[in-house]
């Protein structure tokens, strides 16, 4: 003799518990089945929990991600902004004049974060470029060309 897990009474209980907003774990404990059995039955019946997907714990909507292709286009525009081909930009690193060098404490949003100190020890003379950062990057146009190199060849 086989025991039927999902009797019509249990299905009605499941429906009422979903409407009241119980979690799948709570429903499973009330009905006497596993959480996975509850989740499977909800999907097979085409029911949806009363709470939003992702749980009620989420207080803010997820951030929209910027498509990768858009950031790659920005980078290519930056590489070609002075009219030089990207391959030439890779061969000779551009010399960037930091007209507004600043310390870490003076570094603000929208300023280039490229370290330009002569000493590598991080002494008192350690400064950052401080020029206006290119839109969408942490560095000015010249330092972004140095930091983000275009690939030399495509993978097969």
Angle at alpha carbon of residue 79, lines to 73 and 83, rounded to 5°? 115
Residues 55-112 have pLDDT tens digits of 555 555 666 765 665 666 777 776 666 555 545 444 555 677 878 888 888 888 889 9
Which residue range forms the structural domain that includes residue 14? 8-45
Contact 93, 104 (CB under 8 A): no
Residues 17 and 91 in one domain: no
Residues 81 and 156 in one domain: yes
Is position 50 within any domain? no
Number of domains, the chain: 2
Is position 36 within any domain? yes
Residues 73 and 144 in one domain: yes
pTM of this prediction? 0.42
Residues 105 and 149 in one domain: yes
Is position 145 within any domain? yes
Could you give the CA distance from residue 42 to residue 29 in angstroms, rounded to a whole number? 15
Is position 61 within any domain? no
């Amino acid at each position: 003799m086989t025991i039927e897990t999902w009797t019509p009474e249990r299905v009605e209980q499941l429906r009422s518990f979903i409407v009241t907003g119980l979690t799948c774990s709570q429903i499973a404990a009330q009905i006497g089945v596993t959480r996975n059995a509850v989740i499977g039955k909800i999907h097979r019946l085409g029911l949806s929990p009363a709470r939003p997907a992702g749980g009620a714990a989420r207080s803010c909507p997820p951030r929209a991600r910027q498509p990768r292709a858009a950031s790659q286009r920005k980078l290519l525009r930056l590489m070609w902004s002075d009219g030089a081909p990207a391959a030439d930009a890779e061969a000779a690193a551009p010399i960037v004049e930091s007209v507004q060098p600043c310390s870490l404490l003076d570094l603000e949003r929208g300023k280039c974060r490229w370290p330009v100190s002569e000493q590598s020890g991080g002494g008192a003379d350690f400064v950052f470029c401080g020029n206006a950062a290119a839109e969408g990057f942490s560095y000015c146009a010249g330092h972004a060309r140095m930091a983000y190199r275009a690939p030399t060849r495509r993978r097969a």
